[in-house]
Amino acid sequence: MDFENQDKEKDNSSSTGSFNGNSTNNSIQTIDSTQALFLPIGASVSLLVMFFFFDSVQVVFTICTAVLATIAFAFLLLPMCQYLTRPCSPQNKISFGCCGRFTAAELLSFSLSVMLVLIWVLTGHWLLMDALAMGLCVAMIAFVRLPSLKVSCLLLSGLLIYDVFWVFFSAYIFNSNVMVKVATQPADNPLDVLSRKLHLGPNVGRDVPRLSLPGKLVFPSSTGSHFSMLGIGDIVMPGLLLCFVLRYDNYKKQANGDSCGASGPANISGRMQKVSYFHCTLIGYFVGLLTATVASRIHRAAQPALLYLVPFTLLPLLTMAYLKGDLRRMWSEPFHSKSSSSRFLEV
């Protein structure tokens, strides 16, 4: 009995001592090389479906997007709700039968998220749409991982070709800019569709606006005459790369027992060794985003943001990894080494 109790205590301590917990780790999806290659193809098929059959699927797509945005924004609000409910509410879970068990913070975050989505459906305001889009971005970055630099290059290069083709060359084939049309086309409000289906009368649910779906962030111009757009893919995909290099920075720091890059080649200056991969990639992202914005203003036309973001993030990262002698290690299975260290930072 004593041995069994000791084993149980060890199991409990190991499970509670982990940084993220087993449940979080099990829900994380790691992209492999095959998925990275086929993701642009799947995105192209989805884009064509939305282009040709938008009128048929717009209500279903709007409802699915609203449900996903509700869950994602509830995830985004959860830390704040946990902080607010900690002093006045125990962390005991409340049972809802077959729906599961939830804490007070989870219920509060979900209620706030549902309220926000309902207000967005009723008003269609761009600020609420941006908030929901940011929730989707944070959720996707939190639950998806890039395992290596090879997969990162495959994914971002494929999406770069995808973005350039559908923005610049789709008009020559389909007589319309497919990417721009799908991104800017508003969908019928589900409340309006419901009122027409149920014949609720001309004044019930008919004054709600059409909805611009939260697959992008929009920013009004200084005059308010038009909006600039940034797709959530242009945030999520470079964000996944930033998470990868941040994890590698922390992993290498703990593996060396010193600052990042301390074991690099002797001919690399100390200043170069102090620059982390995360800061290098983050600066490249902001420079690429600024370049895309300037190009859009100069050409007065939609620009594929990944055309600027991918080179400005990947090229400095690859160059720095080569100079520091980490390129081969980062390229394939960078987190597997002789010193088993599961303590690296999970972003």
Task: Tell which residue, 136, 343, 331, has the closest CA to residue 244.
Answer: 331
Query: What DSSP element (H or E) covers 91?
Result: none
Which of 32, 55, 163, 207 is flagged as catalytic? 163
What six digits make up the tokens of 237? 């995909």
Residue type, 13: S
Task: Tell me whether residue 234 is one of the annotated catalytic residues.
Answer: yes
From residue 122, give the alpha-carbon distance in Å to each of 74, 108, 129, 177, 311.
Answer: 19, 21, 12, 30, 40
Burial class, 317, CB count within 10 angstroms (exposed 0-12 / middle 13-18 / buried 19+): buried
What six digits make up the tokens of 59? 């209500």
Which of 2, 7, 188, 234 is flagged as catalytic? 234
The Cα 326–Cα 331 span in angstroms is: 8
Residues 6+ apart with CB under 8 A from 18: 25, 342
Within 10 angstroms of residue 166's Cβ, the number of other Cβ atoms is: 23
Query: What DSSP element (H or E) covers 303?
Result: none
Task: Tell me whether residue 163 is one of the annotated catalytic residues.
Answer: yes
Catalytic residues: 163, 234
